[in-house]
Amino acid sequence: MAINFQYQCGILEAADTTSDTEWCWFKGDTEITKSSGGEPAGTVSAPPGALVAEVKAIIRRDAKQ
Protein backbone atom coordinates (compact mmCIF):
# COMPACT_ATOMS: atom_id res chain seq x y z
CA MET A 1 0.00 0.00 0.00
CA ALA A 2 1.49 3.28 -1.12
CA ILE A 3 -0.79 6.28 -0.92
CA ASN A 4 0.15 9.41 -2.83
CA PHE A 5 -1.15 12.67 -1.36
CA GLN A 6 -1.53 16.06 -3.02
CA TYR A 7 -2.81 19.17 -1.21
CA GLN A 8 -3.49 22.41 -3.09
CA CYS A 9 -5.86 25.30 -2.50
CA GLY A 10 -7.67 23.58 0.37
CA ILE A 11 -8.23 20.29 -1.47
CA LEU A 12 -6.57 17.06 -0.38
CA GLU A 13 -6.46 14.29 -2.97
CA ALA A 14 -5.10 10.83 -2.24
CA ALA A 15 -4.62 7.79 -4.43
CA ASP A 16 -3.65 4.18 -3.79
CA THR A 17 -2.62 2.86 -7.20
CA THR A 18 -2.36 -0.70 -5.87
CA SER A 19 -6.08 -0.91 -5.04
CA ASP A 20 -7.22 1.75 -7.58
CA THR A 21 -8.82 3.72 -4.74
CA GLU A 22 -8.98 7.51 -4.49
CA TRP A 23 -10.08 9.92 -1.76
CA CYS A 24 -10.90 13.62 -1.92
CA TRP A 25 -11.42 16.05 0.96
CA PHE A 26 -12.14 19.77 0.95
CA LYS A 27 -10.80 21.73 3.92
CA GLY A 28 -13.60 22.22 6.45
CA ASP A 29 -15.69 19.26 5.24
CA THR A 30 -16.69 16.46 7.61
CA GLU A 31 -16.79 13.88 4.80
CA ILE A 32 -14.00 12.41 2.68
CA THR A 33 -15.33 11.11 -0.63
CA LYS A 34 -14.01 7.78 -1.82
CA SER A 35 -13.97 6.12 -5.22
CA SER A 36 -12.81 2.72 -6.38
CA GLY A 37 -12.05 2.00 -10.01
CA GLY A 38 -13.44 5.43 -10.91
CA GLU A 39 -16.83 4.65 -9.35
CA PRO A 40 -18.22 6.26 -6.17
CA ALA A 41 -17.49 4.10 -3.13
CA GLY A 42 -19.05 6.10 -0.30
CA THR A 43 -17.63 8.48 2.24
CA VAL A 44 -15.41 8.41 5.31
CA SER A 45 -16.12 10.70 8.28
CA ALA A 46 -13.70 13.43 9.29
CA PRO A 47 -14.01 15.45 12.50
CA PRO A 48 -15.11 19.10 12.25
CA GLY A 49 -12.09 21.38 11.96
CA ALA A 50 -9.77 18.50 11.04
CA LEU A 51 -6.24 19.36 9.97
CA VAL A 52 -4.69 17.96 6.80
CA ALA A 53 -2.43 15.65 8.85
CA GLU A 54 -5.48 14.23 10.66
CA VAL A 55 -7.30 13.57 7.39
CA LYS A 56 -4.22 11.87 5.95
CA ALA A 57 -4.18 9.55 8.98
CA ILE A 58 -7.89 8.77 8.50
CA ILE A 59 -7.28 7.94 4.84
CA ARG A 60 -4.35 5.68 5.73
CA ARG A 61 -6.53 3.81 8.26
CA ASP A 62 -9.31 3.47 5.71
CA ALA A 63 -6.88 2.09 3.12
CA LYS A 64 -5.84 -0.68 5.51
CA GLN A 65 -9.42 -1.95 5.85
Other C-beta atoms lying within 10 Å of the C-beta of residue 28? 10
Beta carbons within 8 Å of 26's beta carbon, 6+ residues apart: 10, 11, 12
In three-state secondary structure terms, 11 is strand
> What range defines the domain where residue 38 resides?
3-64
Q: pLDDT value at position 37?
A: 95
Domains in the chain: how many in total? Answer: 1
Residue 1 has pLDDT above 80, yes or no: no
- Which tops the pLDDT comparison, 14 or 1? 14
Nearest-Å Rg of the Cα atoms of the chain is 11
